[in-house]
């Protein structure tokens, strides 16, 4: 999804506002909102901040999610976002997925990451600690978190396959890729709205 498509989706589907009312609440001209939504103009960082405030989500929702030193892990949406970022960067992978709803899904951390963590593990005296963190895995027991991540991961895996094999398809699959990418972006955008605190999961 483009920034404009995300803005339009949030305005219509999440807030149910007209462009005029949304523009008024954001303190942005109606002409600008219309141009943003039709991708005729890209909002500045200041305009995105105004839009995000009205919508009630982070400004990061309108861009590719990235990890930074000030990344906060407070909500259900934050957890899913972290898992998605880690999966996109080959840090995280699904080890076992039980899709019948009876068992939690398991994830593993890339062993190279574990090796890097282990290499940096020292005590307060700077001495290397003797522990094995090369095989890190965890289980997500919350079914809602697992289901959303699995849905996202299935689409992401399909897109990886399509991108890798794009050259072997006789027919153009650009429209399929665009549709699946939009579905992926929509799941990522929707996660920004979940403010349920992690301690309540």
The string of pLDDT tens digits covering residues 50-78 is 998 999 887 777 776 655 556 666 777 77
- Averaged pLDDT, groups of 10, the chain, 201 residues long: 91 94 96 95 92 86 64 72 80 63 64 61 60 61 76 89 78 83 88 70 44
Contact present, 44 and 73 (Cβ < 8 Å): no
Structural domains in the chain plus CATH codes:
1-63 (1.10.260.40), 65-108+137-201 (no CATH)
User: Residue 201: its pLDDT value, please?
Assistant: 44
- Give 97: exposed, middle or buried? Use CB within 10 Å, 0-12, 13-18, 19+: middle
For residues 1 and 185, what is the distance between their CA atoms, to the nearest angstrom? Answer: 6
User: Residue 164: its pLDDT value, please?
Assistant: 85
- Give 10: exposed, middle or buried? Use CB within 10 Å, 0-12, 13-18, 19+: buried
User: Residue 91: its pLDDT value, please?
Assistant: 77
- Give 173: exposed, middle or buried? Use CB within 10 Å, 0-12, 13-18, 19+: middle
Q: Specify the 3-state DSSP secondary structure of 93.
A: strand
User: 155: Cβ–Cβ under 8 A, 6 or more apart, which residues?
Assistant: 180, 183, 184, 187
Which residue from 97, 201, 186 is spatially nearest to 150, judged by alpha carbons?
97
User: Residue 175: its pLDDT value, please?
Assistant: 83
pTM of the model: 0.69
Task: List b or e across 137-150, with b for residues whose CB sees 16 or more CB atoms inside 10 angstroms.
Answer: eeebeeeebbebbe
For residues 189 and 63, what is the distance between their CA atoms, to the nearest angstrom? Answer: 10
User: Residue 69: its pLDDT value, please?
Assistant: 54
């Amino acid at each position: 999804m483009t920034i404009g498509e995300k803005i339009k989706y949030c305005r219509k589907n999440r807030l149910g506002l007209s462009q005029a009312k949304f523009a008024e609440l954001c303190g942005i001209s109606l002409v600008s909102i219309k141009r943003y939504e039709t991708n005729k103009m890209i909002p500045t960082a200041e305009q995105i901040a105004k839009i995000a405030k009205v919508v009630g989500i982070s400004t990061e929702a309108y861009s590719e999610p990235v990890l930074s030193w000030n990344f906060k892990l407070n909500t259900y949406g934050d957890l899913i976002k972290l898992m998605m970022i880690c999966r996109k960067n080959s840090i995280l992978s699904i080890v076992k997925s039980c899709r019948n709803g009876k068992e939690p899904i398991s994830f593993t951390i890339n062993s190279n990451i574990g090796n890097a963590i282990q290499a940096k593990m020292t005590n307060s005296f700077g001495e290397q600690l003797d522990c094995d963190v090369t095989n890190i895995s965890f289980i997500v027991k919350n079914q809602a978190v697992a289901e959303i991540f699995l849905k996202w991961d299935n689409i992401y895996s399909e897109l990886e396959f399509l991108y890798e094999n794009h050259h072997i398809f006789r027919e153009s699959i650009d429209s399929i890729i665009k549709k699946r990418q939009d579905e992926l972006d929509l799941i990522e955008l929707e996660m920004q709205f979940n403010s349920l605190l992690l301690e309540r999961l």
